[in-house]
Amino acid sequence: MSDTPAPAPQSRLRRAWNSDFAWSFRHAPVAIISSFVVLVLILAAVLAPLIAPHDPFNPATLNLMNGFTPPGQANAFTGDTFLLGTDDQGRDVFSTILYGMRISLFVGFAAVMLAMVIGVTLGLLAGYLGGWVESIIMRVADVQLTFPAILVAMLIFGIAKGITPPEYRDQMAIWVLILAIGLSDWVQFARVVRGATLVEKSKEYVQAARLIGRSPFAIMLRHILPNVLNPVLVIATISLALAIIAEATLSFLGVGAPPTKPSLGTLIRIGQEFMFSGEWWILFFPALALLALALSINLLGDWLRDALNPRLR
């Protein structure tokens, strides 16, 4: 017996820093860069009221004379300069991007949360209970998957718009967007969770819990759910990028966020009207922001998928 000193108990932070997960993060430059970009963009969006030089939604602060100011140059009439220029109404493009990203991110997060809650619940039920419950849920999922998600979202958006009174439409538009994207995106979650549940269900720790008389819901919630969360996390990240793009697409098509509360997609739609008249910055910068946001979230999701995949360890 050798007297090797026992390793000193590590603090929580130290343990997290030394974990496999953190190691794989530290050795993936793509993950570091993309998470940095995501963090900066999210912070900028959250702190928009503090950072933005102008409030683009307050008509009182807008000066129509500032319209179409090119980025970084002084306006010919008023002498004001804007970092990324202004649009046709004299709104600062930088500020509208910050506020637009806020709406894009909010819609994206909320839609993914909705899709995740629906998908994980239905996937757990289908995988654990099996039988006709599984047949119904998975057939509905299969049918929905045959339609393009954007089409389903437009359908839901159209129906919701039809039943909301006109005076509430602009206020409700964001919630309707969330509902439409969330309902069109749950299938991914349900399929993956069902598959993972089938694997976990056959393991003996689930049998041990059944043996002592635990109810199916307690087993699903306390035993199986924590063990199927890894793939859910990966899909949630990639879905977030897709949801932001879906929101931008819907807004670009004119069925999403209204021009009074523009998201990145709305800004791009407004901008493309001026693309051929030389005011390129109104389109270019919102599109660049959308690209950076979606791309870095996607790259982060790709890395997460590899890092959490036990077969690639």
Partner 1 sequence: MSALISVRDLTRVFDVSKPWLNRVIERLPRALLTAVSDVSFDVPENSVYALVGESGSGKSTIGKIIVGLVPPSAGSVEIEGVDLATETDAKKIEAVRDDIQMIFQDPFASLNPRWRVRDIIEEPVAAKGGKTNGLAEKLLEQVGLSAADAGKYPHEFSGGQRQRICIARALASEPRIIVCDEPTSALDVSVQSQVLNLMSDLREDLGLTYLFISHDLTVVQHMADVIGVLYLGRLVEEAPRDKLFNDPKHPYTQMLFDAAPKMDAFGREVDPPKGEIPDAINPPPGCAFHPRCPLATERCKTERPEMRHIGDTRVACHHAE
Q: Which residues bind partner 1 (CB under 8 A)?
A: 203-205, 207-214, 218, 223, 226-227
Comparing CB distances to partner 1, the nearer of 9 and 166 is 9
Residue 107 near residue 263, CB atoms below 8 Å: yes
Comparing CB distances to partner 1, the nearer of 154 and 219 is 219
Q: How far is the CB of 214 from partner 1 (least distance, A)?
A: 6
Comparing CB distances to partner 1, the nearer of 161 and 210 is 210
Comparing CB distances to partner 1, the nearer of 163 and 211 is 211
Which residues fall within 8 angstroms of residue 271, CB to CB, at 6 or more apart? 87, 282, 283, 284, 286, 287
Q: How far is the CB of 210 from partner 1 (least distance, A)?
A: 6
DSSP summary character for residue 222: I
Comparing CB distances to partner 1, the nearer of 225 and 257 is 225
Q: CA-to-CA distance for 274 and 99, rounded, in angstroms?
A: 21
DSSP summary character for residue 224: I
Which residues fall within 8 angstroms of residue 173, CB to CB, at 6 or more apart? 256, 257, 258, 261
Q: Which helix (H) or strand (E) holds 265?
A: helix 264-272
Q: How far is the CB of 252 from partner 1 (least distance, A)?
A: 42
Q: How far is the CB of 208 from partner 1 (least distance, A)?
A: 6
Through-space distance between the first and last CA atoms of the chain, rounded to whole angstroms: 33
Comparing CB distances to partner 1, the nearer of 210 and 261 is 210
Which residues fall within 8 angstroms of residue 87, CB to CB, at 6 or more apart? 67, 68, 93, 96, 270, 271, 274, 279, 282
Q: CA-to-CA distance for 154 and 64, rounded, in angstroms?
A: 34
Residue 149 near residue 246, CB atoms below 8 Å: yes
DSSP summary character for residue 81: B
Residue 220 near residue 124, CB atoms below 8 Å: yes
Q: How far is the CB of 229 from partner 1 (least distance, A)?
A: 9
Q: How far is the CB of 178 from partner 1 (least distance, A)?
A: 30
Q: How far is the CB of 25 from partner 1 (least distance, A)?
A: 20
Q: How far is the CB of 180 from partner 1 (least distance, A)?
A: 34
Comparing CB distances to partner 1, the nearer of 76 and 211 is 211
Query: Among 211, 199, 217, 231, which Cα is nearest to 125's?
Result: 217
Q: What are phi and psi of 170, to 5 degrees?
A: -65, -40
Comparing CB distances to partner 1, the nearer of 3 and 204 is 204
